[in-house]
Amino acid sequence: MSIRMLKTLIAVEENGTFSAAADAVFVTHAAVSQQMKALEAEWGVALFDRSRRTPKLTPIGRALVARAREVVGAYDNLVPSVLGDEGLRGHLSLGVLPTCMTGLVPYAMAALKSAIPDLHIGVHPAQTNEHLIELERGRLDAAIVSKPHVVPANLTWSPIAEEKMELLVSEQVTSDDPLEILATNPFIRFSRRAVVSAMIENWLQKKNIVVRDAMELENLESISGMVHANLGVSIVPSRCFEPPNPLPLRHIPLGDDAPVRKLGLMAQANTVKVRVLQEVHRQLVLAVKAGRFPDKDTGSDRGGSA
């Protein structure tokens, strides 16, 4: 057995076929097949069900893939994991919520790039539930997510910020009463795939508010644009970091019982990239403390120097 074989096994699981895995790890289809047979012979187990046209991983094969990811991760980070600050380098795969893509994440990543030039971060936008799946599969090192009702036992949670929900309306809406506004205007929803969508729906039901759905959108920028055009109103998180050039919109509080989104950094509990993730989390917290990009005429320093 070799690390190369384990990486090939992981590639088969991630790509679905021997041919696709071969392209991913830059070997031939025949080489993938030979490596998998060699692993089966060495371990004395059937990794694949070959009764089908396309071989599929057996249950024990899937279990071994999960362990293989741990071994490969430990191998790839063997030196960085014991070098302290000098280990802040290499690649980090980071999942990000779309609502964080225009303010919080760019600010924090710029500070990270300045502080740790040898660290490459791959950013992957998606909703919380999608990130949880990718974390479980080992395809992400960490993700900025909305806190789920239950944090899986094999994942860790590090809080970043709390964002209270608010009513977002155009400047053409003159009322300050959220209940009246919701009752008399079309409603623009967050995608039902987002954790905040369920939080908002529960609050509406608790208040016995029936809204007139106008559209359902994936991200806060799209929602803001539609609201700015006076095509409807929406309930959204009050951003912990202001985006550059925000649209002129009205932000109306929902009251003391408004739902709150908890943002945090979720990672695998057994990760070997502890130092890197500590620094990522630190920069995200510093970004929240800053709250916005510095004014161009002030030349304020970024959070990385704090």
Domain CATH for 9: 1.10.10.10
Does one domain contain both 101 and 39? no
Does one domain contain both 215 and 72? no
pLDDT value, residue 26:
85
Average pLDDT in the 272-279 region? 84
**Tens of pLDDT, residues 224-266:** 999 999 999 999 999 999 988 889 999 999 999 999 999 999 9
Does one domain contain both 171 and 150? no
Average pLDDT in the 110-132 region? 89
Does one domain contain both 154 and 172? no
Does one domain contain both 39 and 121? no
- Per the structure, the count of domains in the chain is 3
pLDDT value, residue 89:
67
Average pLDDT in the 182-200 region? 92
pLDDT value, residue 305:
37
Residue with structure tokens 């019982």? 257
Average pLDDT in the 285-302 region? 75
Q: Which residue has the higher pLDDT, 86 or 120?
A: 120
| Beta carbons within 8 Å of 225's beta carbon, 6+ residues apart | 247
pLDDT value, residue 234:
97
Average pLDDT in the 257-281 region? 89
- Closest Cα partner for 36 from 56, 63, 66, 59? 56
**CA-based radius of gyration for the chain:** 23
Does one domain contain both 50 and 195? no
Q: Which two tokens stand for residue 36?
A: 């998998």
Q: Output the CA–CA distances (angstroms, integers) from residue 282 to 1, 51, 86, 119, 264, in the order listed.
A: 39, 50, 17, 15, 11
Does one domain contain both 152 and 298? yes
Does one domain contain both 150 and 220? no
Domain CATH for 292: 3.40.190.10
In a domain, 81, yes or no: no
Does one domain contain both 71 and 25? yes
Of how many residues is the chain composed? 306
Q: Output the CA–CA distances (angstroms, integers) from residue 150 to 66, 130, 146, 160, in the order listed.
A: 22, 15, 11, 17
Share of the chain above pLDDT 70, in %: 92
Dihedral over alpha carbons 181, 187, 190, 192 (to 10 degrees): 120
DSSP characters over 181-236: HHHHSEEEEEPTTSHHHHHHHHHHHHTT---EEEEEESSHHHHHHHHHTTS-BEEE
Does one domain contain both 154 and 18? no
Share of the chain above pLDDT 90, in %: 55
**Tens of pLDDT, residues 205-221:** 999 999 999 999 988 89
**Tens of pLDDT, residues 44-84:** 999 998 888 888 899 999 999 988 888 887 776 665 555 55
- Residues of the domain holding 26: 3-76
pLDDT value, residue 145:
95
Q: What phi, psi does 76 have (nearest 5°)?
A: -65, -25
pLDDT value, residue 301:
46
Does one domain contain both 275 and 156? yes
Relative orientation angle of helices 3-15 and 59-76, to the nearest 10 degrees: 130
End-to-end CA distance of the chain: 46
Average pLDDT, the chain: 87
